[in-house]
Amino acid sequence: MNPNNPLLREASLPAFDQILPEHVEVAIREVIDDNRTHIHALESLPEPSFGNVMEPLEELHHRLARTWSPVGHLNGVMNNEALRERYNACLPLLAAYDTDVSQNEKIYHALESVQQREGQRLDAQQQAALEHALVDFRLAGVALSGEKKERYKAVMLQLSSLAAKFEENVLDATNAFTHHVTDEQELAGLNATIVAQARERAQAADKPGWLLDLAQPTYVAVMTDARSPALREAYYRAWSTRASTSGPTPAQYDNLQVMEDLLRLRHEAAQLLDFPNYAAYALARRMAGSVEEVLTFLRDLARAARPAAERELAELTAFAGRELQAWDVTFYSERLQEERYSISQEELRAYFPLPRVLDGLFAVVERLYGVKVKPRAGVAVWHADARYYDLFDASGKLQGGFYLDPYARPNKRSGAWMDDCVGRKQLASGNALPVAYLVCNALPGAAGQPAQLTHDDVVTLFHEFGHGLHHMLTRVDYPSIAGINGVAWDAVELPSQFMENYAWQPEVLRELTAHVETGAPLPDDKIAQLLRTRSFQAGLATLRQVEFALFDFRLHSEYDPARGARIYEILDEVRREVAVIRVPAFNRYPNSFGHIFAGGYAAGYYSYKWAEVLAADAFAAFEEAGAFDRATAQRFVDSILSRGGSRPALEAFVEFRGRPPRIEPLLRQHGIAG
**Tens-place pLDDT, residues 420-465:** 999 999 999 999 999 999 999 999 998 889 999 999 999 999 999 9
> What is the pLDDT averaged over residues 381-392?
98
Residues 207 and 327 placed together within one structural domain of the fold: no
- Kindly tell me if the per-residue pLDDT of 674 is higher than 70: no
Residues 580 and 614 placed together within one structural domain of the fold: no
Looking at 170, 205, 234, which one is the last position of a domain?
A: 170
> What is the pLDDT averaged over residues 69-80?
97
pLDDT digits (tens, 9 = 90+) for 572-587: 999 999 999 999 999 9
Q: Using an 8 Å Cβ cutoff, are 509 and 523 in contact?
A: no
Spatial distance between the Cα atoms of 488 and 557, rounded to a whole number of angstroms: 19
**Consecutive H or E run containing 392:** strand 387-392
- Does a structural domain hold residue 550? yes
Residues 22 and 88 placed together within one structural domain of the fold: yes
Residues 480 and 515 placed together within one structural domain of the fold: yes
> What is the pLDDT averaged over residues 388-396?
97
- Does a structural domain hold residue 348? no
Residues 591 and 628 placed together within one structural domain of the fold: no
- Does a structural domain hold residue 495? yes
Spatial distance between the Cα atoms of 619 and 501, rounded to a whole number of angstroms: 8
> What is the pLDDT averaged over residues 477-497?
97
pLDDT of residue 126: 98
Residues 144 and 291 placed together within one structural domain of the fold: no
- Kindly tell me if the per-residue pLDDT of 1 is higher than 80: no
Residues 384 and 429 placed together within one structural domain of the fold: yes
Options 59, 464, 493, 612, the catalytic residue: 464
Total residue count of the chain as it appears in this document: 674
Classify the phi-psi angles of 387: left when phi > 0, otherwise alpha if psi is within -120 to 50, otherwise beta. beta
**How many Cβ atoms sit within 10 Å of the Cβ of residue 265?**
18
Residues 51 and 128 placed together within one structural domain of the fold: yes
Looking at 233, 253, 273, which one is the last position of a domain?
A: 253
> What is the pLDDT averaged over residues 108-118?
96
Q: How confident is the model at residue 164 (pLDDT cuts 50, 70, 90)?
A: very high
Q: What percentage of the chain reaches a pLDDT higher than 90?
A: 97
pLDDT digits (tens, 9 = 90+) for 337-375: 999 999 999 999 999 999 999 999 999 999 999 999 999
- Kindly tell me if the per-residue pLDDT of 277 is higher than 70: yes
Helices (H), 626-663: 630-636, 649-657
Spatial distance between the Cα atoms of 400 and 104, rounded to a whole number of angstroms: 34
pLDDT digits (tens, 9 = 90+) for 607-622: 999 999 999 999 999 9
> What is the pLDDT averaged over residues 279-294?
96
- Does a structural domain hold residue 397? yes
Q: How confident is the model at residue 656 (pLDDT cuts 50, 70, 90)?
A: very high
CA angle 595, 601, 604 (to 5 degrees): 130
Residues 457 and 477 placed together within one structural domain of the fold: yes
- Does a structural domain hold residue 379? yes
Task: Mention every residue, 6+ apart, whose C-beta is less than 8 A from residue 525.
Answer: none
How many structural domains compose the chain? 4
Q: Is 368 helix (H, G, I), strand (E, B) or coil?
A: helix
Cα dihedral across residues 469, 470, 472, 475: positive or negative: positive
464 is catalytic: yes
Burial class of 80 by CB neighbour count within 10 A (0 to 12, 13 to 18, 19+): exposed
Residues 414 and 524 placed together within one structural domain of the fold: yes
Q: How confident is the model at residue 204 (pLDDT cuts 50, 70, 90)?
A: very high
Residues 268 and 334 placed together within one structural domain of the fold: yes
pLDDT of residue 388: 98
- Looking at residue 426, the DSSP 8-state letter turns out to be E
The residue range of the domain holding 524 is: 354-532+608-670
**Consecutive H or E run containing 439:** strand 435-442
**How many Cβ atoms sit within 10 Å of the Cβ of residue 191?**
19
pLDDT digits (tens, 9 = 90+) for 471-480: 999 999 999 9
- Kindly tell me if the per-residue pLDDT of 23 is higher than 70: yes
Q: Using an 8 Å Cβ cutoff, are 183 and 257 in contact?
A: no
pLDDT of residue 362: 98
Q: Can you state the percent helix, strand and coil of the chain, rounding each to 5?
A: 60, 5, 30
Residues 142 and 242 placed together within one structural domain of the fold: no
Task: Mention every residue, 6+ apart, whose C-beta is less than 8 A from residue 73.
Answer: 382, 419, 421, 437
pLDDT of residue 447: 84
- Does a structural domain hold residue 65? yes
> What is the pLDDT averaged over residues 294-304?
96
CA 68 to chain centre: 18
Q: Is 601 helix (H, G, I), strand (E, B) or coil?
A: coil
pLDDT digits (tens, 9 = 90+) for 501-546: 999 999 999 999 999 999 999 999 999 999 999 999 999 999 999 9
Integer CA distances (angstroms), 113 to 40, 42, 133, 373, in order: 17, 13, 13, 44
- Kindly tell me if the per-residue pLDDT of 221 is higher than 80: yes
- Does a structural domain hold residue 1? no
Task: Mention every residue, 6+ apart, whose C-beta is less than 8 A from residue 432.
Answer: 12, 62, 66, 422, 423, 424, 425
Q: Is 226 helix (H, G, I), strand (E, B) or coil?
A: coil
CATH number at residue 495: 1.10.1370.40
Beta partners for 437? 403, 419
Looking at 253, 277, 305, which one is the last position of a domain?
A: 253
**How many Cβ atoms sit within 10 Å of the Cβ of residue 478?**
29
Q: How confident is the model at residue 673 (pLDDT cuts 50, 70, 90)?
A: low
Phi, psi at 439, each rounded to 5°: -125, 130
- Does a structural domain hold residue 349? no
Average pLDDT of every residue of the chain:
96
> What is the pLDDT averaged over residues 645-651?
96
